[in-house]
Amino acid sequence: MLKIAPFQGVRYNPRKVGGLARVVTQPYDIISPEGQAAYYRKSPWNYVRLIFGRVQSSDSRSRNRYTRARKHLTDWLRSGVLVQDGKPALYPYLQEFTLDGKRGARWGLITLVSLDSTGIHPHEHTRPGPKQDRVRILQTVQAVLSPIFGLVPDSDRRFRQAIQSKVRGLRPAARVRLDGVENTLWRIEDPAWIARMQRLLAPKPVVIADGHHRFEAAKIYRGLKGRRQGAAWNFTMFDLTSAAGDDPGLLPTHRMLTGFPEAGLPGALKRWRVTPAGRGLQNVEKLSRTVERLKDRRRLGVGLALSNGHGGFLIEPKGRGRYHLDVEWLHEELLPALYGSDRSGKKRATAAVEASLAFTQDLKRGWRHLRDGSGRALFVMQPPRTREVFDWARRGRRMPGKTTYFTPKPIAGLVAYLHA
């Protein structure tokens, strides 16, 4: 059973900060070092100082980016840069975007979710480092600074329509455009409507689309603090988003390799069905369309483009075997074979791959990686489907890391939840 609750959100005072566009950010885990520097330059009150502050050479156990984040939060609340809403509310949230010429709109609800809720399903594996980082943020800042992105099945669109009908004609609490995406937030105090949302969502499962580390950090933090009835840390903040079909913003994550065993390629390729492809960006994009058509026919396959003038290939297994995703097949069978390893040597092959592996959702970036010589190979992956994400999560399975990439993600800085 999914248990949601309203809360007194903490939000920026636009009159103090000179407009929200100067202070909101992307989620911490997709902020590059260059992006971090750009956010720092935008405003002395930019949210990056809370969620992804700079590391300094003088940092110590008692003075570091976590303690600086807490000081910024305290100072900004005291000076009125951030203001806590007077009454508990739910926060409808709309993101409008264009991707590959197609317009998309995500309707969601930013709310507290009890960590005792059942039916919350992660779909990807997490790593210890980022998880511990988010635990330290919670311990030091004592606030949930950005919402976890959760998908709610909504085939009858009742959830989406309930939000749309409620906010129609209402003045938004916040509106800001960031990186080409229009973000609109409303604030609803109405107890009857809140109760309706609680009843509507109670039987719904939730699949975590983004924020796995933050979700697990919230559970770890509660374990450290103890299960005290009514405690603020029994809840974390979610953007629960209506999922009525395949998401136009669910992108494939292509694999770039800086090292590649080209000598073993001809022999290894004899194991699979291989179709030659031409050279150049145009043929890389053609490979992408081809693997997407394979996906539509429920067939596995990946594209391979090389930097050494050999052009590219479409590679398909001769039988599906035990694999359901191209990512599984690539990492469990195709790459180990290309690196000359049988099952006993797979661990060595995996280590060699990870040492030279990078990821991108942008085929043009992948092509530049080949053209400028910084990379040797680009694997063009199939686009995942929302229904696959739900299916894997409901069966208690987690996809390999970097299988899915949802864009846009809920931005940071629209609303926060204070523990103390």
Q: pLDDT tens digits for 308-349?
A: 656 788 999 887 678 888 998 998 888 888 877 655 556 666
Q: What is the pLDDT of residues 172-192, one digit of tens each?
A: 999 999 999 999 999 999 999
Say what the pLDDT of residue 250 is: 85
In 3-state terms, what secondary structure has residue 175? strand
Q: Pick out the chain residues at pLDDT < 50.
A: none
Type of residue numbered 352? A
74: its two tokens: 């305290």
Q: Output the pLDDT for position 358.
A: 86
R_g of the chain computed on alpha carbons? 23
Confidence (pLDDT) at 404: 84
Residue indicated by tokens 């770890």: 220
**Structural domains of the chain, with CATH:** 4-249+406-418 (no CATH), 253-383 (3.30.1760)
State the pairing for strand pair 302-306/235-243. unpaired
Residue 242 to residue 255: CA distance in whole angstroms: 30
Q: Would you state the pLDDT for residue 344?
A: 53
Amino acid identity, position 258:
T
Residue 209 CB neighbours (<10 A): 26
In sequence order, the 6+-apart residues with CB closer than 8 A to the CB of 223 are: none
pLDDT in tens, 340-391: 765 555 666 667 777 788 889 888 888 888 888 888 889 999 988 888 888 8
Residue 178 pairs with which residues in a beta bridge? 181
Note the pLDDT of residue 313.
Answer: 87
Residue 320 has what pLDDT? Answer: 66
Task: Assess whether the previous peptide bond of 88 is cis (omega < 30° from 0).
Answer: no
